[in-house]
Amino acid sequence: MTTETAATAGLTHCGACGGKGVKTFKDGVLTNNPIFAQVLGICSALAVTSKLETSLVMGIGYVFVLSLSALVVSLLRKTIPHRIRIITQVLVVCVFVIVLDQLLKAFYFEASRQLGPYVGLIITNTLTLGRTEGFSIQNKPLLSLVDGAGNGLGYAAVLAVIGTIRELLGSGKLLGHVVLSPHIYTPNQLMILAPGAFFGLGILIALLNITVLKSKDAKK
């Protein structure tokens, strides 16, 4: 699988993952990582990563939404009428997103305020539908759950990495605590702003493609 085709192949090939839980999980987290290999869901990955805390909350919330949506879509897969299958999947995703949003508003208000509309926008995250339509609709419930969790964790991990880089370089802090004191490091505001997200993510994708994904191609 070359990296150019990985984005589309990630959606169509997954039916061929063939009942292997471990491989499905590893694909989601690393080799077919939603952001690095499939380049899906980068809108929110850019928007919520100016701080590590918001990145973590979004990542964990996303694992919750994607795992359960994948499970439910898979459970329903034989009953869903073909013509309304996309809207059915969106409906299932909506349920879990609203539940997540309500829970955050009730028990983690600060994070909910900072994430603002991006929790709701999980519904339109291309990765969500990419997994339910590309995998859950044609695979067994348990495997779909594993796929959802794997992809969710892969997404969460990337968010955490970018969040760490941006908060550290952009404000010299991690989780709000000063790590790099202003005496030795002048925070680079650019990293907190949108361009910082583009540079950070772009460089990370490039690095990962050169190292991990390239060596995988070479083995083939």
* Structural contact between residues 143 and 21, judged by C-beta atoms closer than 8 angstroms: yes
User: What is the total count of residues that contact other proteins (CB under 8 A)?
Assistant: 26
* Structural contact between residues 92 and 73, judged by C-beta atoms closer than 8 angstroms: yes
Q: What is the Cα–Cα distance from 40 to 205, expressed in whole angstroms?
A: 12
Stretch that binds other proteins, among 22-30, 72-80, 147-155, 182-190 (CB under 8 A): 72-80
Q: Which of 7, 60, 103, 123 binds other proteins (CB under 8 A)?
A: 103
Give the nearer residue to other proteins in terms of CB position, either 27 or 101.
Answer: 101
Q: Which of 57, 92, 137, 149 binds other proteins (CB under 8 A)?
A: 92
> What residue type is assigned to position 78 of the chain?
K
Q: What is the Cα–Cα distance from 64 to 96, expressed in whole angstroms?
A: 8
Q: What sign has the CA pseudo-torsion 29, 135, 126, 215? A: positive
Is 117 exposed, middle or buried (CB count within 10 Å of its CB: 0-12, 13-18, 19+)?
Answer: exposed
Residue span 32-71 as binding mask against other proteins, x where in contact by CB under 8 A, dash where not: ---------------x------------------------
Give the nearer residue to other proteins in terms of CB position, either 78 or 183.
Answer: 78
Q: Which of 4, 16, 22, 81 binds other proteins (CB under 8 A)?
A: 81
Q: How many C-alpha atoms does 63 have within 13 Å on its Cβ side?
A: 19
Q: What is the Cα–Cα distance from 175 to 77, expressed in whole angstroms?
A: 41
Radius of gyration of the chain (CA): 18
Residue span 176-205 as binding mask against other proteins, x where in contact by CB under 8 A, dash where not: ------------------x-----------
Q: Which of 80, 157, 174, 212 binds other proteins (CB under 8 A)?
A: 80
Residues 105-164 that bind other proteins (CB under 8 A): 105-107, 109, 113, 116-118
Residue 50 makes CB contacts below 8 A (sequence gap 6+) with: 163, 166, 167, 170, 192, 193, 196, 197
Residue 83 CB, shortest distance to other proteins, in Å, is 6
3-state secondary structure of 18: coil
Residue 75 CB, shortest distance to other proteins, in Å, is 12
Give the nearer residue to other proteins in terms of CB position, either 105 or 214.
Answer: 105
Binding interface with other proteins (CB under 8 A): 47, 76, 79-81, 83-84, 87-88, 91-92, 94-95, 98-99, 102-103, 105-107, 109, 113, 116-118, 194
